[in-house]
C-alpha cells in the first residue's frame, strides 16, 4: 500500500464580504501573476515517486476561506484516507489542520503532521484569521497529530517568524526546521520536505 500524504493549501480570509469584493477590485494584477506557476506542492508527487500517493484537495473558496466550509470538505475526505496518513499544511492550510485536530477526534492514525509557514494568531500580521483562530489548547492536536514538524523561514513576509515561537510553546514536543531565506515557501521544489517525508 502506498504511503498517503494529504496536502492542504493556503488561502486568505476577510472580515466581511465587502472587504473580499474590495480586494478583488483592487488587488495588484499583472501578466506574471496570471501565468501558470508551479510550486513545491505541484511537484511533490513526482519528487517522492511511485511509493507515495499525494492527495491535494482544493479547499472551498481559498480566496475568501471559511473554517466551517473547509471542515465540512475535509471531513468528507477523511473516509478515503488510510491509517498512518501524513498531513501537510501550508500557511492557512497549516492552521486549519492545527485547529481541526485540536477540536475533532480524527478516526485514522496519523503518522505525522507537517506545518509549513503556519500562522499561530494574527496579532502581528496584516492577514486576519477570522474563524481559523486556534482554541486555547492544542493538547488534542499534540496527542493525535503523530510526529509534529514546524517549518518556518526567518524572512517570511506573510507569516512573521515569531509565530513559530508560539507554536513551540504550545507544542513543546514538535520538531522544527528553520530556514533563513525561503520567504513563504513559494519555490518550485522543496527537497527538504521530500527528504523528511521519506524518513518518516
Q: What is the mean pLDDT of residues 26-37?
A: 82
- Distance of alpha carbon 78 from the chain centroid: 16
Under the banding of pLDDT at 50, 70 and 90, the label for residue 18 is: very high
Residue for cell digits 494574527? Answer: 122
pTM of the full structure: 0.94
Under the banding of pLDDT at 50, 70 and 90, the label for residue 71 is: very high
183 contacts 156 by C-beta, under 8 angstroms: yes
Q: What confidence tens digit (pLDDT) does each residue in 102-161 have?
A: 999 999 999 999 999 999 998 887 778 999 999 999 999 999 999 999 999 999 999 999
In the chain, the DSSP E strands lie at 3-8, 52-55, 85-90, 110-116, 147-153, 175-179
Percentage above 70 pLDDT, the chain: 100
Q: What confidence tens digit (pLDDT) does each residue in 169-190 have?
A: 999 999 999 999 999 998 889 9
The burial class, CB within 10 Å (0-12 / 13-18 / 19+), for 140 is: middle
pLDDT at 65: 96
Domains and CATH numbers, the chain: 3-13+34-199 (3.40.50.1820)
Closest CA to 156 of 128, 186, 130: 186
Residue 36 has pLDDT above 80, yes or no: no
Closest CA to 195 of 160, 149, 154, 161: 149
Please state the length of the chain.
200
Q: What is the mean pLDDT of residues 59-86?
A: 96
Amino acid at each position: 500500500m502506498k504511503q498517503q500524504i494529504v496536502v492542504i493549501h493556503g488561502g486568505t480570509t476577510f472580515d466581511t464580504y465587502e472587504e473580499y469584493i474590495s480586494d478583488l477590485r483592487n488587488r495588484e494584477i499583472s501578466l506574471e501573476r496570471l501565468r501558470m506557476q508551479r510550486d513545491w506542492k505541484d511537484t511533490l508527487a513526482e519528487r517522492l515517486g511511485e511509493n507515495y500517493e499525494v492527495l491535494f484537495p482544493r479547499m472551498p473558496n481559498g480566496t475568501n476561506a471559511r473554517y466551517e466550509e473547509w471542515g465540512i470538505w475535509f471531513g468528507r475526505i477523511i473516509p478515503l484516507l488510510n491509517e498512518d496518513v501524513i498531513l501537510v499544511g501550508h500557511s492557512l492550510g497549516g492552521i486549519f489542520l492545527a485547529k481541526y485536530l485540536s477540536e475533532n477526534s480524527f478516526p485514522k492514525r496519523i503518522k505525522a503532521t507537517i506545518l509549513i509557514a503556519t500562522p499561530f494568531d494574527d496579532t502581528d500580521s496584516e492577514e486576519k484569521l477570522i474563524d481559523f483562530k486556534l482554541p486555547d489548547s492544542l493538547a488534542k492536536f499534540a496527542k493525535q497529530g503523530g510526529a509534529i514538524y514546524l517549518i518556518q523561514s526567518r524572512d517570511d513576509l506573510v507569516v512573521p517568524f515569531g509565530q513559530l515561537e508560539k507554536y513551540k510553546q504550545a507544542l513543546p514536543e514538535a520538531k522544527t526546521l528553520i530556514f533563513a531565506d525561503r520567504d513563504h515557501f513559494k519555490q518550485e521544489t522543496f527537497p527538504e520536505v521530500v527528504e523528511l517525508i521519506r524518513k518518516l
